[in-house]
Chain A
């Protein structure tokens, strides 16, 4: 059974950093593209970043380019999101999601909450 479990969220001051993790199981992790998506409370979904299966190709939304870095450790079946220079508007629920353009994002984690506040 495919499972994605995010962790690492919490309360952080503006300007500080946070690293999110997504532990994957139940599938051949290294062969799948992965993504980070966030949702501001009461608002819509926002795609943030994409990683190829190898981790060599990465894409970012303009809103996080230069501040957030996606990475993965295929030996540990884990995806990461390093978030630097956090802003109040980065507050939200962060989801990791498996997939790419061919089949969409077919499996999602339950999300981890990030709150940026002074």
Chain B
């Protein structure tokens, strides 16, 4: 099974900061990775698919990068609405695995 390691588990940053979340895979995923934002009591929301494609309607301050085994989600300028938990989701041909999640807090 492919192992996903998402870091950090918690991130505290100030409004306007550039923040980056990383997901590392134990095997080559090519570009089959997506990023989600989840707010308390809500379903996850797709932000990025195929590692770097921005989902329609998602603010351009969100971007995804990477391929193979290392992927990043970057928020270029943190906004109050970005307070949430973020998850990566990898696909390896027969199954999907979520990262452990990164809780983003406003400092």
Residues of A within 8 A of B (CB): 35, 44-47, 50, 59-62, 95, 97, 100-106, 108-111
> Residue-by-residue, is B88-103 near A (CB-CB < 8 Å gives 1, otherwise 0)?
0101001111111100
Chain A residue, CB-CB nearest to B48: A104
Which of B1, B34, B50 contacts A105, CB < 8 Å? B34
Instruction: Please name 19 further chain A to chain B contacts, defined as beta carbons within 8 Å, in addition to the given A45-B98, A61-B95, A103-B50, sorted by A numbering.
Output: A44-B87, A44-B98, A44-B99, A44-B101, A45-B36, A45-B38, A45-B89, A47-B95, A47-B98, A50-B95, A95-B44, A97-B43, A102-B50, A104-B36, A104-B89, A105-B46, A106-B49, A108-B45, A110-B43
Report the 8 A-B pairs with minimum CB-CB distance, sorted nearest first: A104-B34, A108-B43, A104-B49, A47-B96, A101-B91, A45-B98, A44-B101, A103-B49
Q: Which residues of A contact B48 (CB under 8 A)?
A: 104
Chain B interface size band reads: 20 to 34
Within 8 A of A (CB), among B10-27: none
CB distance from A25 to the nearest CB of B (A): 16
Q: Is the CB of B43 within 8 A of A47?
A: no
- What separation, in Å, do the CA atoms of A101 and B50 have in the docked complex? 8
Q: Determine if A108 and B44 form an interchain contact, defined as CB atoms under 8 angstroms apart.
A: yes
A60 CB contacts on chain B under 8 angstroms: 95
Q: List 13 A-B contacts (CB under 8 A).
A: A35-B96, A44-B87, A44-B99, A47-B95, A47-B97, A60-B95, A61-B95, A97-B43, A100-B91, A104-B50, A105-B44, A106-B49, A111-B43
